[in-house]
Amino acid sequence: MFVDSSTRLIFANALYFKGAWSKKFDASRTVENDFHLLNGKSVKVPYMTSSKKQFVEAFDGFKVLRLPYKQGEYNKNQFSMYILLPDLYDGLTSLMEKASAKPGFLNQHIPIKKVELDAFMIPKFKISFGFEASTILKGLGVRMPFTTGGLTEMIDSAEGQDLYVSSIVQKSFIEVNEEGTEAAAATAAVTRYMCDFDEDLDFIADHPFMFIIREDITGAVLFTGHIMNPLEN
């Protein structure tokens, strides 16, 4: 964000989340293994593992894992991270398109019971991301804030006639490890396909996947993203 002598106002909002898993991972069981990239190569990354039952369900073409966070001492909010893992190594794009095209997609694909898994591995990761959003917003047809006088309804001042938004900067950060998750962001009738749990079931997130952090009582989504390479941050 560029600030100079012509800057008059900076509007900012922020969202911060730090959650500990309801059942923490044992760091001594973290192991290195391959994570398969879309270009056919692989990288060695640290994987968190556990032999405990997990909230996992298999659907047509993908699996969903729910990892609950510990509830706060003074409130009843229930937060969870959901990992949506395509069956195919290169299936992330198709899964993301499906998820974004269907309202209530996550609500229709929430694991409802804990199951035994033959194998369970999810990578540790830490990512940060930032971009300038004004071009995208203009492309969507948002015009008023970016023109002179576009902020007159917000600024109770004669100077407001000459103000406009010059840039909008979005930044986000998320880290997932054995303890839990730390994340922050700032901006200036259902048909289900359930697997037969008598068959072998595992959850090995060793290729690109998407994740969602949400509050389960209200359904409010705090963060969503995807991991192409856990080592990239």
Q: Please, what CATH class does the domain formed by 24-124+191-227 belong to?
A: mainly beta
pTM of the shown model = 0.73
Give the C-alpha separation, 122 to 31, whole Å: 10
Domain ranges of the chain: 24-124+191-227
CB-based burial label for 126 (10 Å; 0-12, 13-18, 19+): middle
- The CA angle 194-197-199, to the nearest 5 degrees, is 110
What Rg value do the Cα atoms of the chain yield, rounded?
21
pLDDT tens, residue order, the chain (233 aa): 556 666 656 666 666 677 888 888 999 999 999 999 999 999 999 999 999 999 999 999 999 999 998 887 777 888 899 999 999 999 999 999 999 888 889 999 999 899 999 999 999 988 776 656 666 666 777 655 556 655 555 555 555 556 666 666 666 667 778 787 665 555 443 333 344 444 579 999 999 999 998 999 899 888 888 999 998 86
Residues across the chain: 233
